Homo-oligomer: A and B are copies of this chain.
């Protein structure tokens, strides 16, 4: 079963926006066992749209089109689809008109003709409600293949995809699919592959393994099972395989599915009824940002001192001025004192601290750009480690943040 994604509109072609929609749609389709044959971005041009739909119907069973459904004259996707699928007339879809009316009322804008026309749909499509916007989605069928047209606004598209995925599963009578992902950090992909080779070779044929590496979240390992007759049995089977995998990878495994390094660390802290504080220099708030991106993080996160200047390190965190003088701000001594200092100042149980040269300037022969000291303070000890990362400021900030959270996580596990 193949699909193709076609995005319509100039914003993507001129590079004004990054196309995050396609990745989301591809991922959702993959999760029900539908592969993506091709993704194509084109402008709001009738011939170009028709040519691409024609082509895509030759290679794929499912075509997802996003964009080009706005109220302005350059948005022509709906008209082109009406023509392509031979609509006899456009008719008002009352439930969509109700949504448009209530959205306009909330914004205190009178309903105009352009808004009203957004509820007009070709009579040959199945309308799909867009609960979050003015452009409804449309489902077309031709020769046992389908085309779905959706608006390009990401949160509108995502909500609609929630409804479209089960419709696709039902229409094509797709087999149940089950996925589970194990999250690892700290082992490079090539070494990880070597370590789990034997385990991987023993996997039965109906289970498929995918490596999903990402610099800020490590390597995710996803097991997928298609053709699942007995889902409960399958869940048990995958759990068993992951149990063996956990025995091989041990503490490199930090979570499952939608966990992230910060939430996994937070989970461990909560189990200990412990609170965390951070003291950040080179990461400049990125660690706190990663932690607080998780809802509920206030249960284990007290806060942070972003000590960008040395006097804050001294005044707020109790770092010894003489040590900054003697060893420099980027040193084992200073990072350790920052961690211990913020742990005490913020009345926390655990703390992490970073001090480094994010770049692009400030490097020396002895301490080049990318040098970072990371420290973890616990109720029992303080540990610190040096890393030499990259020449790029943004890469250094995000990698140092992930390494710091992982160091804390390993310490929380090891002390048990």
Contacts and interface: CB of A to CB of B under 8 A. Distances in A.
Given A36-B14, A288-B285, A302-B308, A295 B23 contact: no
B289 A297 contact: no
A37 B361 CA distance: 39
Contacts of A287: 285
A367 interface: no
Interface in A229-249: none
Q: By DSSP majority rule, is chain A's interface helix, strand, loop, or mixed?
A: mixed
Interface stretch (A76-84, A117-125, A143-151, A393-401): A393-401
Contacts of A286: 285, 289, 292
A144 B346 CA distance: 66
Contacts of A296: 361
Interface stretch (A90-98, A168-176, A311-319): A311-319
Contact of A308 (B28, B298, B392): B298
A296 B283 CA distance: 14
Contacts of A42: 38
B15 A25 contact: yes
Contact of A23 (B15, B36, B39): B15
B301 A288 contact: no
A26 B39 contact: no
How many A residues are at the interface, by size bracket? 35 or more
Counting chain B CB atoms within 10 Å of each CB, which of A37, A48, A397 scores highest?
A37
A20 interface: yes
Contacts of A12: 22-23, 26, 39
A345 interface: yes
A27 B40 contact: no
A301 B39 CA distance: 44
A41 B305 CA distance: 44
26 contacts: A12-B22, A13-B26, A13-B36, A13-B38, A14-B35, A14-B210, A16-B210, A18-B20, A19-B22, A38-B41, A38-B42, A40-B40, A155-B392, A283-B292, A285-B287, A288-B308, A292-B308, A295-B358, A295-B360, A298-B308, A303-B305, A303-B307, A304-B304, A305-B316, A315-B347, A316-B346
* 6 tightest A-B CB contacts, nearest first: A284-B292, A285-B288, A15-B27, A15-B26, A285-B285, A304-B306
